[in-house]
Amino acid sequence: MNPDPTKVVVPPGYKVEVFKAGLDTPSSATVDKDGNLWVAISGVLLGSPEADQIDPAHVKIFDRTGKLVREVGKGTFKTVMNEIGYCAENGKTYIPEYGEKIWEMNGVNGELKLIIKDLPIGDHRNGGITCKDGFIYFALGFPSNSGFADPDNHGWTDIPNDPFWVKHQDGQGTTPHDPVCRDIVHTGLNVRSSDGRTTGALLPVGVPAKPGMVIKAQVPCGGSIMRVKMTDAGPDGIYPHEKMEVFAMGFRNQSGVAFGPPGTKWANALAVTDNGANDLGHRRIANSPEKVFIVTEKGQDAGFPDKEGMGFVTNKRFAWQAYRGNPVDRPLPQLYIGDKPFVPKMPPYRFQFHVDGSRGVPLIAANPNPNGYINPVLEWDTNNPIDGIAWSGSGFGADNNLFGAVYGILDTGPESLVPTWPIVLRLEFLDPAGVKWSQFAHNIEPGPNAYQKPENRGGLERPNKVVFGNEGRTMYVVDYGEVYTDFQMTPQFYTVPKSGVIWAISYEGPATR
């Protein structure tokens, strides 16, 4: 399908164009000091009947006219590429490889250098990356879905000798599990998988937890924003783990990481987008929102895996079935506290039958963070992740606003009655407080092209990143392209070759407020 800018709806005063079309799986982009657009090409992540026709993971560098200047990393990157970021402080481009590594390049003519390695294996790995005041900041996801190396839920739990856990041996084992950012006193929450093994939260598969045991903090850790001084690389150019520090914690799967515009009150505010838990596994967390956080100081905690968005998972919002007092009809039958089945506590009140009982998901940590928790400034529709983000400066008609790319539902339905993707989301921060959101760019009808009437097709498919040009008047929207989902077919995903697009949205009129 040919991309058609007339099928993308934006506010008056803005113009939509196609900067580059016919790309395979573009996932992120950044702009260097010369205005070159560096585009991360993911490579096939989800499968496709035409996988052999899709470019492998690499980076394409285009000049400001759209001419291809260079391709980097083919044959070097072994997994997919989700993020990329340019650092104006040192002129380097940072390239996270979604395989426990981060690379850097010094300019278009530079060479790839590995700078960070041996990050944890799991569902959620290294995400967004940025820099500020001599530090590199990078997101590191929480490996599991909701706190368990559960073999019924993951395909990586029995991988021997995860390099991270070989380096950070905790006495529990070296298969993958969730490294925590602060010492956790365990509630003793376990799952019993279909193969008969009992696995404790935050522990390797087959290792049970006991109430009161302590899980020691690790550096780096899962669900964090880590940082490291640019001057702390070792003689081999690699940043040692022991030189890193936790800037923020308590996230799950962070894609967008961006400081506010220099010279504004947002300059030291770090915006972070976080993908909520999937409603699956033995510790099912329902209705987990997609979230935007603003981190304002070092050490802040968003609370995952015991807190999702505004509340703890013990809130009834996060469970899918109430417990009504029958011990053989437990809503989470594979959960145990120590070696005892987890049986929810019934309240002393009795309600109408259809709302009687108690509902919620049990906690993993018995020791809440004494410093408290931060809440998101926005919660978005479940399983519609807000991925790459960018702040607008002056020149775009919306100063100091935060824009985010909403990628959309993939493998975790159901769909909402009114689809909330694909869009470019705009967040305006109000004075003295509050946030106003709007759909800045969207299709004629809600949903991607498969949801559109034939005459309305050609617009956004799966936007995954937004980034501004140096002049501030143009926003580039990285559109991954079509990934059709059908769990009645094999493979379940159809990544369509050459369907990726880089859209350019330019400001041409008076400010919109």
> In the chain, how many H helices and how many E strands?
1, 36
pLDDT of residue 385: 96
468 token code pair: 């501004």
122: left (phi over 0), alpha (psi -120 to 50) or beta: left
Domain annotation covers residue 160: yes
382 token code pair: 């479940």
Domain annotation covers residue 150: yes
Domain annotation covers residue 347: no
Rounded to an integer, what is the distance from CA 30 to the centroid of its chain? 17
Other Cβ atoms closer than 10 A to 147: 31
* Burial state string for 326-344 with b = 16 or more CB within 10 A and e = fewer than 16: eeeeebbebbbbbeeebeb
- Is the pTM higher than 0.85? The answer reads yes
Domain range holding 249? 5-317+365-507
Nearest to 181 by CA among 116, 129, 250: 250
320 token code pair: 């899918």
Domain annotation covers residue 415: yes
Segment 65-85 shows an average pLDDT of 94
pLDDT of residue 25: 96
Proportion of the chain above pLDDT 90, given as a percent = 91
DSSP 3-state assignment of 6?
helix
DSSP 3-state assignment of 290?
strand
61-65, 89-93, 171-175, 494-498: which range is least confident on average?
A: 494-498
pLDDT for residue 79 is more than 90: no
pLDDT for residue 513 is more than 70: no
pLDDT for residue 512 is more than 60: no
Instruction: Supply the DSSP symbol for 323.
Output: B
Nearest to 396 by CA among 271, 503, 509, 267: 509
pLDDT for residue 511 is more than 80: no
12-16, 30-34, 308-312, 327-331: which range is least confident on average?
A: 327-331
CATH number assigned to the domain comprising residue 10: 2.120.10.30
Segment 229-258 shows an average pLDDT of 98
Nearest to 191 by CA among 335, 34, 6, 24: 335
Nearest to 198 by CA among 291, 282, 111, 96: 282
Domain annotation covers residue 80: yes
Domain annotation covers residue 54: yes
Mean pLDDT of the residues in the chain: 96
Q: Which residue has the tokens 């304002």?
A: 296
Give me the phi and psi of 74, to 5 degrees please. Answer: -65, 125
Quick check: 495 and 46 in contact, CB under 8 A?
A: yes
Q: How many CA atoms lie within 13 A of 18 on its CB side?
A: 16
pLDDT tens profile 274-301 = 999 999 999 999 999 999 999 999 999 9
Residue 509 to residue 513: CA distance in whole angstroms: 12
75-79, 89-93, 313-317: which range is least confident on average?
A: 75-79
Domain annotation covers residue 332: no
pLDDT of residue 48: 86
Domain tally, the chain = 1
Cβ contacts of 494 within 8 Å, gap of 6 or more: 48, 49, 50, 482, 483, 484, 485, 486
Instruction: Supply the DSSP symbol for 166.
Output: H
- Band (pLDDT 50/70/90 cuts) for residue 148 is very high
Instruction: Supply the DSSP symbol for 90.
Output: T
pLDDT of residue 82: 87
Domain annotation covers residue 349: no
pLDDT of residue 107: 98
Q: Which residues pair with 502 in a beta bridge?
A: 20, 478
Angle, CA of 362, 366 and 369, to the nearest 5°? 110
pLDDT for residue 47 is more than 80: no
pLDDT of residue 46: 79
pLDDT for residue 256 is more than 70: yes
pLDDT for residue 164 is more than 70: yes
CA distances from 37 to 2, 202, 255 (A): 22, 40, 19
- Band (pLDDT 50/70/90 cuts) for residue 346 is very high
